[in-house]
Amino acid sequence: MKEGLLVLLCCSCVSFSRSQLICFTNPSLEGTSAPAQLPPGWTTCFSTGSPGDTQPGQWSITQPASNGNTYVSLLCFGENPGGYREGFHQQLSSPLVAGQNYSFTVDLAHSNIYQSVPPNGCYSSLAVYGGNSPCAVTQVLWTSGPFLHTNWQQYTVSFTPTGNWNYITFAPYYINQCGTTTSDYINLLIDNISCIQPQSGASYTPVTCNGSCDGTLTFFPTTGTPPYTYNWVPGNFTTQNVSNICAGTYTCTVTDANGNTVTDIVTVPQPPILNGTTSGNNLNCFGAGNGSANIVASGGVPSYTYSWNTGATTSFINNLQAGTYTCVVTDANGCTITRTVTITSPPSFIASSSPDTGICTGSVTLFVSTTPGTYSYSWAPASGNSSTLTVSPTATTTYTVYVSNMSSCTQTETITVSVSPAPPVPSVTYQNGILTCLSPGYMYQWFLNGNPIPGATQQTYTPLVNGTYYVTITDSMGGCSAMSFPGTVYDIAGLSEPDNIYYSSVYPNPGSGIFNLDFYCTGPVRIRIVNVLGEIVYEEKTEDNTGKVNRKLDISANAKGIYYLQLLSEKGTATHKIKLN
């Protein structure tokens, strides 16, 4: 009876055969104590000048081995991977299987031989890496965390590879600065590495993106008699490997060929929802191009990459015009979200100035007009703070007006005032009954007694009546004019003027004391200037001339006021009223 019960009990037991271990060559690190030399079976990594040391007995390290006679010391200073690190690796006898759970043990101790930071200097820390090439650090399989114990302690290294790795690498692992500089030493001792043991049970690969269903489930039996049958719930999946799994908790029941069963529960996780918080700065002025947009990614699996529709690949972009900007955020798992930022612009305003203009002398008023609103104005090089400005340039000048609205947005307009030189004062001759302007190349207008003579627009004019004549000349390019000094014609037939003086002109009039006198005559002429009391203040007599006579008359020593210039001949007198300023 007892025997039958024993049979039943054994039939219900799980008596699976153990799966194959993965063992290292020379796991006890046995060799000859020597500096910069590793035990047989192990190959150096990282250090360009020195591998680890086979201990004890080197660099004052005397710690006995935890197993056998020798072990290895590894050194690191500075951040990894950029700092100095000693490490070693070995190719495995069979590759690790992605998704399978594994474990092995290793003995570790801390050494403070190189340390300067009290009480025990920097921490020690070990990392175990997996990859498919010598010294590869493709996956950090396990880290010990910092430790300071100087006696040997055994650590269990448990890990699940993400790839079918063929190499295992051991090296110190920099976590953070432990002293006052990043060159503080990390010095650890390592010994007695066990075989790698596959672990029985369900394993998974997580869902890549929140809400997706791309996870996997795998059950690794390490006991029992094949073949095995599988039942996963929920889902009622019946294969060892299940794909396209959503996040959640799953139970797998495995039955071997003898009807023995084992059950495991596994939870397939998913990362947090990938999110992006956006912000933007709008343009302060229309068309300014100083907008910016920013996105802060969170959730998912860091780190993140960014792709804007502008081509930018940073989280912050600037120098933007108004518009809508789209950013695709991608996390480390390839999950993406799309966010948009709309940048706005204040309305534009229009400022338009008066056209470029030209002047000869004097002033001109410039102006600028705007769309309705409140504005401030600033002119240069002249000063002014209104929409109009009156200027009197003496040379061609470009004026700039800065128009600013209430948001300090500014538009600039320019106006060029071209200054053309005035023509020289023209001279006029009177010969053979014809008045001639001696300044060629201008437009002409003749005047009689202050009134324009219709049609008298040539360089010469033949007077029809006695009187005072002058001509204005105008530059056809700039429109600048000059006027001749008036002259009096006396010799038109039938008139009572002295016929031996037939033309005279005095200028400038008014004058400051010196007057120019031009006249045409036949015979001698007496020149006399009298004041309003009839007193003679100047007198001279010309010779018996025929033709043009020119004199400079200086009465500057006399009092200011009205005087009369008389030209006296045998046949009469011609008189000019002059004013002394």
Place of tokens 């290793």: 106
Tell me 237's DSSP state: B
Reported confidence tier of residue 7, pLDDT bands at 50, 70, 90: very low
Reported confidence tier of residue 364, pLDDT bands at 50, 70, 90: confident
Where does residue 218 rank: exposed (0-12), middle (13-18), buried (19+ CB within 10 A)? Answer: buried
Residue 45 vs residues 36, 137, 378: alpha-carbon distances, Å: 12, 11, 72
Q: How many CA atoms lie within 13 A of 504 on its CB side?
A: 24
- Say which range, 183-187, 346-350, 397-401, 564-568, has the weakest mean pLDDT: 183-187
SS (H, E, C) 350-391: CEEECCCEEECCCCEEEEEEECCCCCEEEEECCCCCCCEEEE
Is it the case that residue 477 has pLDDT exceeding 80? no
Q: Which residues contact 421 (CB under 8 A, 6 or more apart)?
A: 360, 480
Where b means 16+ CB within 10 Å and e means fewer, 476-509 reads: eebebebebbbbbbbbeeeeebbbbbbbbbbbeb
Region 196-216: mean pLDDT is 87
- Say which range, 67-81, 122-136, 233-247, 310-324, has the weakest mean pLDDT: 67-81
Q: Phi and psi dihedrals of 569, rounded to 5?
A: -130, 180
Is it the case that residue 193 has pLDDT exceeding 90? yes
Where does residue 98 rank: exposed (0-12), middle (13-18), buried (19+ CB within 10 A)? Answer: middle
Reported confidence tier of residue 186, pLDDT bands at 50, 70, 90: confident
pLDDT in tens, 57-70: 888 899 999 999 99
Reported confidence tier of residue 178, pLDDT bands at 50, 70, 90: low
Is it the case that residue 177 has pLDDT exceeding 70? no
Kindly state the percentage of the chain with pLDDT values over 90.
43
Region 345-351: mean pLDDT is 84
Is it the case that residue 185 has pLDDT exceeding 90? no
Region 169-189: mean pLDDT is 73
Tell me 11's DSSP state: H
3-state SS, residue 464: coil
pLDDT higher for 448 or 122?
A: 448
Instruction: Please tell me the distance from the alpha carbon of residue 442 to that of residue 452, in angstroms, as a whole number.
Output: 17
Q: What is the CATH number of domain 275-343?
A: 2.60.40.1080
pLDDT higher for 131 or 178?
A: 131
Region 214-231: mean pLDDT is 88
Is it the case that residue 84 has pLDDT exceeding 80? no
- Please calculate the CA angle 261-267-273 and round it to the nearest 5 degrees: 165
Where does residue 558 rank: exposed (0-12), middle (13-18), buried (19+ CB within 10 A)? Answer: middle
Where b means 16+ CB within 10 Å and e means fewer, 273-311 reads: ebebeeebeebebbebeebbbbbebebbbeebebebeee
For the segment(s) 501-580, the CATH number from 2.60.40.10, 2.60.40.3080, 3.40.640.10, 3.30.365.10 is: 2.60.40.3080
3-state SS, residue 6: helix
Q: Which residues contact 275 (CB under 8 A, 6 or more apart)?
A: 297, 298, 299, 300, 337
The answer to whether 306 and 331 are in contact (CB under 8 A) is: no
Q: Phi and psi dihedrals of 4, rounded to 5?
A: -60, -45
- Strand duo 410-419 + 428-431: pairing: unpaired
- Strand duo 126-131 + 71-77: pairing: unpaired
- Say which range, 14-28, 90-104, 406-420, 422-436, has the weakest mean pLDDT: 14-28
Kindly state the percentage of the chain with pLDDT values over 70.
89
Q: What is the dihedral of CA 75, 81, 82, 83, to 10 degrees?
A: -10
Q: How many CB atoms lie within 10 A of CB 318?
A: 13
pLDDT higher for 147 or 497?
A: 147
Where does residue 341 rank: exposed (0-12), middle (13-18), buried (19+ CB within 10 A)? Answer: buried
Residue 12 vs residues 5, 93, 230, 259: alpha-carbon distances, Å: 11, 35, 17, 8
Reported confidence tier of residue 10, pLDDT bands at 50, 70, 90: very low
Instruction: Please tell me the distance from the alpha carbon of residue 482 to that of residue 424, in angstroms, as a whole number.
Output: 7
Tokens in use for 578?
């002059």
For the segment(s) 428-489, the CATH number from 3.40.50.2300, 3.50.50.60, 3.40.50.620, 2.60.40.10 is: 2.60.40.10
Tokens in use for 218?
């795998």
pLDDT higher for 263 or 341?
A: 341
- Please calculate the CA angle 251-252-253 and round it to the nearest 5 degrees: 125
Instruction: Please tell me the distance from the alpha carbon of residue 318 to that of residue 339, in angstroms, as a whole number.
Output: 16
Instruction: Please tell me the distance from the alpha carbon of residue 450 to that of residue 344, in angstroms, as a whole number.
Output: 66
* Most confident stretch, 296-305, 402-411, 425-434: 296-305
Q: How many CB atoms lie within 10 A of CB 514?
A: 12
Entry pTM: 0.49
Place of tokens 């191009």: 289
| Sheet order of strands, 357-359 included | 357-359, 410-419, 397-404, 376-380
Reported confidence tier of residue 78, pLDDT bands at 50, 70, 90: low
Where b means 16+ CB within 10 Å and e means fewer, 351-380 reads: bebbeeeebbeeebebebebeeeebebebe
Architecture label for domain 69-198: Sandwich (2.60)
Q: Which amino acid is at 392?
A: S
**Largest Cα span, the chain:** 184
Is it the case that residue 411 has pLDDT exceeding 70? yes
Reported confidence tier of residue 4, pLDDT bands at 50, 70, 90: very low
Mean pLDDT of the chain: 85
Reported confidence tier of residue 8, pLDDT bands at 50, 70, 90: very low
Region 310-336: mean pLDDT is 96
pLDDT of residue 67: 92
3-state SS, residue 30: coil
pLDDT in tens, 508-547: 989 999 999 888 777 888 888 988 777 889 998 887 777 7
Architecture label for domain 351-419: Sandwich (2.60)
Q: Which residues contact 432 (CB under 8 A, 6 or more apart)?
A: none
Instruction: Please tell me the distance from the alpha carbon of residue 376 to that of residue 215, in angstroms, as a whole number.
Output: 66
Is it the case that residue 2 has pLDDT exceeding 50? no
